[in-house]
Amino acid sequence: MDIEPEFPSKRQRKRKRHHDEINDQEEEIQLSAMESFRVNYFLVIVDNAILSLTSRFDQLKKFEKLFGFLFNSKNLKSLDDSKLQECCATFAKAFSDDKSSNVDLHDFVSELKVLQVTLPDGLMSALEILQFVMAVDCYPNVSVAYRILLTVPVTVASAERSFSKLKLLKNYLRSTMLQDRLNGLAMCCIEKDILDNVDLDCALNDFASRNARRNFF
């Protein structure tokens, strides 16, 4: 940035001492320019950054505490029966209320115990474990747990991106656009990576077949 990292020293003004002041009174601490910058700016910025990062990752810590044993096959296979029971109880409690629960705790523990010994050797991700579970179709509670794990949002990045795209669309086109069209364009902008893989010819043919207004005589 072409800024010289220099801190020029300024002459410190000395306060006039009155005759009735005690001689051993504490003198005001005088900081050099570099020390003043470090105390009043640098350390303040560092403290704010640490505080922001800590609060930012609190959610991830809670997520890891709840789903950590399901992250991969290594984590799952490393659990003994007591630890597995504890993790499953925490998970079931988080996704239940007074009337119902997304998973049955007893069946969930039993299914995971069987899964620990039936999973193929080698490290498997959560998605690969879900694909394995769906293929054999005999672990209903485990299937629910992994689907929750893989669909729970753990960051606001997607939401921030959505609002960013929506702001652009509303600024340039909102005055002449209906809500349905705004929703469609927002989806196209937000999911551009998926849109790039769409076969346009098939999409056009499908659109034409749905909106055909031909008169046959």
DSSP string, 143-187: HHHHHHHHHS---SHHHHHHHHHHHHHHHHHGGG--HHHHHHHHH
What's the confidence (pLDDT) of residue 159? Answer: 47
Q: What's the mean pLDDT in 1-14? A: 62
| Residue 17 within any structural domain of the chain | no
Q: 100 in a domain, yes or no?
A: yes
Q: What is the pLDDT of residue 25?
A: 47
Element (H, E) at 124: none
Question: Which percentage of the chain shows pLDDT scores above 70?
Answer: 70
pLDDT digits 0-9 by tens, 61-94: 888 888 999 999 999 999 999 999 999 999 988 8
Q: What is the pLDDT of residues 99-150, one digit of tens each?
A: 777 788 899 999 999 999 999 989 999 999 999 999 998 899 999 999 989 8
Going by pLDDT thresholds of 50, 70 and 90, the confidence category of residue 188 is: confident
Q: What is the pLDDT of residue 1?
A: 46
**Residue 138 and residue 75 share a domain:** yes
Report how many domains make up the chain.
Answer: 2
- Kindly provide the b/e burial profile for residues 171-187, where b requires at least 16 CB atoms within 10 angstroms of the residue's own CB: eeeeeeeeeeeeeebbe
What is the residue-averaged pLDDT of the chain? 78
> Which among 114, 136, 151 is the end of a domain?
151
Give a yes or no: residue 133 inside a domain: yes
Indicate whether 176 pLDDT > 90.
Answer: no
pLDDT confidence of residue 29: 62
Q: How far apart are CA 71 and CA 150, in angstroms?
A: 10
Task: Give yes or no: residues 93 and 114 share one domain.
Answer: yes
pLDDT at 35: 80
Please give the residue range of the domain that contains residue 172: 157-207
State whether 70 and 147 are in the same domain. yes
Element holding 136 (H helix, E strand): helix 126-136
Pair 82, 145 in one domain: yes
Q: Which residues pair with 96 in a beta bridge?
A: 101
Q: Based on the domain organization, do 108 and 175 belong to the same domain?
A: no
Same domain for 161 and 147: no
Residue 19 lies in a domain: no
The whole-number average pLDDT for the span 162-177 is: 59
Same domain, 74 and 102: yes
Asked if residue 112 and residue 185 are part of one domain, the reply reads no
What would the pLDDT profile of 10-31 be if each residue is shown by its tens digit?
666 666 766 666 654 445 566 6
CA 137 and chain centroid, separation: 30
Q: For residue 87, what pLDDT is reported?
A: 93
Tell whether 112 is covered by a domain: yes
- % of the chain at pLDDT higher than 90: 28
- Where among 120, 135, 151 does a domain terminate? 151
At 193, the pLDDT band (50, 70, 90 cuts) reads confident
Q: Verify that 120 and 81 share a domain, yes or no.
A: yes
Q: Is 168 a residue whose pLDDT tops 80?
A: no
81 assigned to some structural domain: yes
